[in-house]
Structures are given as C-alpha cells and as structure tokens.
Amino acid sequence: MSDVLTMVEGHAGRIRLNRPKALHALNHAMCDAMLAALEQWREDPAVHVILIDHAEGRGFCAGGDIRMIAESSAGDGAAARAFFATEYRLNHRLFTYAKPTIAFMDGVTMGGGVGISQPCKLRVATENSRFAMPETAIGLFPDVGGGWYLSRLPGRIGQYLALTGARLDGAEMLALGLATHLLPAETLDAVKQAIAADPLAAEAILSDHAMPAGDAPILSQREAIDRLFASDDFEEVLAALEADGSDWAQAQLATLRQRSPLSCKVSLKLLLDGATMPTFEDEMRQEYAVVTRIVQRPDIVEGVRAVIVDKDHAPKWDPATPAAVSDHMIDRIFAPLSPADEWQPY
C-alpha cells in the first residue's frame, strides 16, 4: 500500500497520507507523490478543489522523516538536503496553487504537517488537533515556512511557540488563525463528501458544521508571552523568564534549558527575518540555506538520539550554552547559498 493515496472523487482531488505507524510523517517519496498529484490536477478541468487529510490511524502528520535526516546528517547530508529541497517545493506549490486547497488537521499536526496545512486556503481543526513546531528539541528549527507563519501570529506568540514547541489544541488554533474552522471529527467524512460534490459551497459547508470555538487557554497567557518573549535576543528571553517569579515563567525556562541553544537562536533570527520576507519563495530559499548548514552540525544527530532513539531526553548540545553561540556563527548559517546550490521552486 502506498504511503500517499491520491484519487479524484466528485470534483475533488484527494491527497490522503497513509503512513499510520509513523503518524503519517513525510518522507521523500511522499512529497514526490503529492507534488505529482498537484501537477496532474493543476490543468484538469474536472478537479475544482484539493482535499488533504490522512487515511487511517491517529494524527494528521507528525512531521518529517527525522530518523533519515539524522542518519544522513551523520554522513554527508546529501539525502537530507534532497528531502528538504523537495519538501519545500511541496510547501511552495501548495502556497501558490491556483485551485482552492483544504487541509483537515484531525490529530497531531507538527513540523512537516504544519508545512502542508498552513499554505491551504481552508484549514480545519477538530477536538483531536494538536499543533506544534517542536524542532528546537531535536536540534532543528521551525522550517517548512515556519519563519513566515509564526512571525505573523499575534504579538510574540510565534516566538514563544518556536522556542518552546508548546502544543495548541483546536480552539487555540482557531483563535490564532492557524485554523479557519473548528469541526467535530465525526462530521468530517460527510463534510468531505459534500465539498467534493459542490466545491463552490466549501466555506458554507464548513461553517454549517462548525462547533463553538470554546476557550483558547493560550490567550490567557498572552500578556505574559508578549512581555517575557519580547526580545529577539535569546539570552534576554532567558533573563526575563529568570527574573519573573511566576510558575508559568519558570516552567518555560525549564523547557528552554532543554532546547538546543543554537536552534533557539536560529529560530528567533528566522522569525525576525520572516516577518518582512517579500515572498514565500524568498522564505523557503532562506530556510533551505539555513537547513543545509544545520544538517552539517552535530545537534540534529544528538537531538534525535536523545528524543527519538535512546529517549533519555538528555541531549548534549554543541555549542552547549547560549553564550557559546556567536553572532558570527548565526550569520554564517544564514548566509545565502551559491547560485548553483540555492533552492528553487518546482
């Protein structure tokens, strides 16, 4: 059985992630298959809308194939670079796709799952949705357009999510605009069938089935987030959290002390640049330059070992402290690639 199922139902082109044992995490072949389907349907007059979901099991999409990325990073990094180049082309293709796209984020939506849902015109969350960009825990950074999406969230919420990897539920996703609609999971099959039959009514169909938003707990921390995560300097964020006596601030501080210092500094720089990036293509070009440098560094291998392989959650980061991550190191990571090596859209 293929890891991606593609079919046309009614007027809808359907892309269904089908790798349940890995929570539908994306590998290179899956990205290729999704790109091929989008290309096939681009000029097909019978296809009016694209629906992206998962076929079975939990989770919408838990991310990318990080074991492969870490294994490649331990060697020459070529497979990892090839995967990111294709994944980012998929992200960009969805962002610029002429036909309406709808993502059903029913379950875990992290990393690579964010990259294929946030470009969509309509983004449906459910009571099962769990959104996060937890890359700093494994020595990566919130890529797949994270610098674009997170930098456009209200206040400093994007910086908070990028650094801590905090998880959001469906109501929080709706409140922040990461989801356009919140639906009960039990209605999704009927909703998809209705949209396939009448794509022009998609927004009305979603609105008709939407449930009350409910409380979004993250909004109760909005003042603290904006104040404590105000700086684009990682040491200043840590200092602000240290100086704040609240239990919430101390919990965030404990989280950040577990994260890769290099990843945290890269993430803040990514969001700072992303807020004024002229186009999404420019964003992906920069993120590709950054990721090619990151996969040549030791933190990704160590992070995946600590969190995924050995599960001891005791990574030994290199550099080990924020102070040891120099501005010069960050500048080199963000430097443009040569024209021959730089990322290009599909």
CA 227-232-233 angle, 5° bins:
105
In a domain, residue 8? The reply is yes
Largest CA distance in the chain: 60
The Cβ of residue 189 has, within 10 Å, a number of other Cβ atoms equal to 10
The amino acid occupying position 139 is: G
Write out residues in the chain with pLDDT < 50, as ranges: none
CATH number reported for the structural domain that contains residue 211 in this entry: 3.90.226.10
List, in sequence order, every residue forming a beta bridge with 53; answer none if it has no partner: 16
Looking at the DSSP bridge assignments, the partners of residue 50 are: 13, 101
Place of tokens 């990028």: 162
Please tell me which residue in 53, 143, 287, 302 is annotated as part of the active site.
143
* pLDDT of 213: 85
Out of 87, 135, 169, 172, the active site residue is: 135
Measure the CA–CA gap between 178 and 183, rounded to whole angstroms: 14
Q: How far apart are CA 318 and CA 329, in angstroms?
A: 12
If we measure between CA atoms, which residue out of 82, 144, 125, 176 comes closest to residue 274? 144
Which stretches does DSSP call E strand in the chain? 4-9, 12-17, 49-54, 101-105, 108-110, 122-125, 130-132, 181-182
Q: Is 230 within the bounds of a domain? A: no
- Is 143 marked active-site? yes
Contact at 8 Å (CB) between 80 and 67? no
Of the residues 13, 59, 64, 170, only one is catalytic, namely 64
Instruction: Report if residue 141 sits inside a domain.
Output: yes
Distance CA 346, CA 44 (A): 18
Both tokens of 199, joined, read 């794509």
Question: Is there a catalytic annotation at residue 135?
Answer: yes
Q: Residues near 340 by Cβ (< 8 Å), separated by ≥ 6? A: none
Cα 241 to Cα 22: distance, rounded to the nearest angstrom: 35
Q: Among candidates 42, 184, 54, which has minimal Cα distance to 125?
A: 184
Query: What are 331's two structure tokens?
Result: 């500048």
The two structure tokens encoding residue 274: 């992303």
Marked catalytic residue, from 111, 112, 113, 146: 112
pLDDT attached to residue 38: 98
Domains in the chain, number:
1
For residue 154, say if its preceding peptide bond is cis, omega within 30 degrees of 0.
Answer: no
* Helical packing angle, 280-294 and 261-274, nearest 10°: 160
Annotation says 189 is catalytic: no
- For the stretch 48-87, pLDDT in tens is 999 999 998 888 999 999 999 999 999 999 999 999 999 9
d(CA 103, CA 95): 12
Q: Give me the residue label for tokens 């838990």.
A: 62
Position 296 in a domain: yes
pTM, whole model, 2 decimals? 0.97
Domain assignment present for residue 245? The answer is no
Q: Decide if 328 is inside a domain.
A: yes
Taking residue 104's Cβ as centre, other Cβ atoms within 10 Å add up to: 26
On whether residue 224 sits in a domain, the answer given is no
**pLDDT for position 97:** 98
Task: Give Cβ neighbours of residue 147 (< 8 Å, ≥ 6 apart).
Answer: 270, 271, 273, 274, 277, 283, 286, 287
* Burial of 345 from C-beta contacts in 10 A (0-12 / 13-18 / 19+): middle
Enclosing domain of residue 188: 4-219+257-334
Q: Is 64 a catalytic residue?
A: yes
Closest residue by Cα to residue 20 from 59, 66, 49, 78: 59
Is residue 342 situated within a structural domain? no
